[in-house]
Amino acid sequence: MARDTLAERVLRGDRAAVARAITKVENREEGSAELLETIGKKLGGAFVFGVTGPPGTGKSTLIDRLIEEYRKAGVRVGVIAVDPTSPITGGALLGDRVRMVKHATDEGVFIRSMASRGWSGGLSGAISEAIQILDAAGTEVVIIETVGIGQSDIEVMKIVHAVMVVTMPGLGDDIQVSKAGLMEIGDIYAVNKSDLPGADSMVINLLGMVRDMKGRSPPVLKVSALRGEGVAALFTAVERIRSKVLSPEGRDVRLKSTQGMIAELAKRRVLDRFEGRAESSRELAKKVENREISMEEAARELAEGR
């Protein structure tokens, strides 16, 4: 009864209900599966947009600017910020962002930090679910912000429709961007803090680098999120990508994203089952330590659930 009410409230776009639903699913509370089952039939087809880049490039400020543009256009936006996780506390260390306060009175904006927890690495326990909940609540654009450099960026590629890589001048000859494999995942590149020296040459370098990738020449745009310069042009470029993704032309991209989300959800199911067995693997470890069995044998036994 109470569950139906929560799902209904989510479907009505109630922001508090969305927050509650995400928490419920994140903590795998009872009724999570039913909730997802209900809202899963009412998905609207939100545009899922990944924003990534090295730390300190101003991703959050830039996302704030995009939120402002979207709100001017009357578009409902959700942001999921994926935080690195403490191995001990399991919590999101960066915590909820300052900007949550800024948009506190706007029912058309939803912002949430989620930890990229899980012994298996990869995405947060419930990002795919959170996207569904936001989508069902009528959110038209869901932005997934990752903390740059690392596995979560690679994983996020598989469930978003498009990726914006944020960088800035002075990051050691653009090496950081190329090191982290970010040259290969962007559908659009933003050189933020464009008032700093080296912005123009960085744009030129990036254009050269991303041109190298076969068949792709994603736009590279200079922007100053802080001063608001270049934001309108960046927004236009992002909106162009959104239109394309949501058009018949974008069918393959959407299908791949759905596939990625299903795989993420299914993987978690498989690993959950397996993790239970891993907990009881101490006996196998003892046998290996005593040289009774090899590590390979132990792994096989554990994998087969014996």
Instruction: Rule CB under 8 A: choose which of 2, 41, 105, 197 binds a copy of itself.
Output: 41
Instruction: Rule CB under 8 A: choose which of 53, 122, 169, 230 binds a copy of itself.
Output: 122
Task: Give the interface segment with a copy of itself, choosing from 60-68, 71-79, 98-106, 264-272 (CB under 8 A).
Answer: 264-272
Do strands 188-191 and 220-222 pair parallel, antiparallel, or not at all (unpaired)?
A: parallel
Q: Does 67 bind a copy of itself (CB under 8 A)?
A: no
Instruction: Rule CB under 8 A: choose which of 180, 199, 220, 238 binds a copy of itself.
Output: 180
Instruction: Rule CB under 8 A: choose which of 37, 107, 173, 249 binds a copy of itself.
Output: 37
Instruction: Rule CB under 8 A: choose which of 8, 12, 29, 121 binds a copy of itself.
Output: 121
Q: Does 270 bind a copy of itself (CB under 8 A)?
A: yes
Cα radius of gyration rounded to whole Å, the chain: 21
Minimum separation from the CB atom of position 10 to a copy of itself (A):
14
Minimum separation from the CB atom of position 297 to a copy of itself (A):
8
Minimum separation from the CB atom of position 176 to a copy of itself (A):
8
In the complex with a copy of itself, the residue whose CB is nearer, 82 or 109, is 82
Residue numbers 220-259 binding a copy of itself by CB under 8 A: 254-256, 258-259
* Strand-by-strand arrangement of the 162-167 sheet: 109-115, 77-83, 141-146, 47-52, 162-167, 188-191, 220-222
Q: Does 154 bind a copy of itself (CB under 8 A)?
A: yes
Residue numbers 159-178 binding a copy of itself by CB under 8 A: 178
Minimum separation from the CB atom of position 229 to a copy of itself (A):
26
Task: Give the interface segment with a copy of itself, choosing from 14-22, 63-71, 99-107, 155-163 (CB under 8 A).
Answer: 155-163
